[in-house]
Amino acid sequence: MTRLPTFENPPVVEQVLAVRFAPLDAFTSPYLGSFWSRVESDFPIAFERGPYDMPLERLGDALPRGGIEFTVGPPPAKTRAWLVSADDERLIQIQRDFFAYNWRKRKGDYDRYEVGRDNFAKYFREFEAFLADKGLGEIGPRQCEVTYINHIRPGPPSKLSSLVSVLQEPELRQPATALLTANLALVLALEKDGARFANLHVSAVPATQGDDDESIWVLTLTARGLPLGEGIGGILAFLDLSRRAIVTNFVTLTTEECHKEWGLTWP
């Protein structure tokens, strides 16, 4: 498989590697704290958040496994735990049907994909071992997700076409005199061996950040779809192929002007 291009100064500010699985009905709220004790040395800060419902992708005949869910016994955990590293850059999210590993840009350098992948696998296996030790069931993956969030300067009023190569500025007609802002939303089909396994969602929206409300573009790429096999191997295979799709389409969709600013390098 050909090597991917790299960026010396990538605009990425967050990377998310995640999996949705069949609900673990026995995984009640107290077990969130119990699992935290196993990884607290790496993630000493904990928050409680509302549950995240990963959207289910429609992939033709290949739909995520699942259906109507019934719960018997104690109520399952309705919250999501955020376990955060001391430097606030790394984050694990856990709920009864969802596990994710996040890297977030703070002061340090970008954690390359290989680092995030290894950390996802490490803590996911730790979570699987915890479930086995407590007799809480096994994880049955239903859907996987890879997300890259990029903050790109300058934001509006710079033209979106200076960021996204597939856009052309429309020719305006009076009384319209200027295009003040624009949003972008694309969905691309991802295939392996002729079968569609995921959708790649691309969006670009204007936003502001910082105390001075600096204008930026937020360019988000999310690949979401079916695991490519059983267990952790199928999850990692999805992450690898989806990350490749995100990088190659990121290069295709953005302009050469941006590539020069980000230090694009081909292998």
pLDDT exceeds 60 at position 74 = no
Span 88-114, pLDDT tens digits: 999 999 999 999 999 999 987 888 899
DSSP for the chain, please give it: -PPPPEESS--EEEEEEEEEES--TT--THHHHHHHHHHTTT--EEEEE----PPPPP-TT-PPS-------SSPPP-SEEEEE-TTS-EEEEEETTEEEEEEE-SSS----HHHHHHHHHHHHHHHHHHHHHHT-----EEEEEEEEEEEESS-TTS-GGGTBTT-------TT--------EEEEEEEEETTEEEEEEEEEEEEEEETTTTEEEEEEEEEEEE--SSSHHHHHHHHHHHHHHHHHHHHHHHB-HHHHHHHTEE--
Average pLDDT score over the chain: 87
Span 178-204, pLDDT tens digits: 656 678 899 999 999 999 999 999 999
Q: Is 229 left (phi over 0), alpha (psi -120 to 50) or beta?
A: left
Task: Quote the CA–CA distance of 243 and 113 in Å, as a whole number.
Answer: 8
Q: What is the pLDDT of residue 171?
A: 66
Task: Give the residue extent of every domain in the chain.
Answer: 6-265
What pTM was computed for the model? 0.89
Residue in 164, 185, 131, 174 with CA at minimum distance from that of residue 21: 131
Q: What is the pLDDT of residue 169?
A: 60
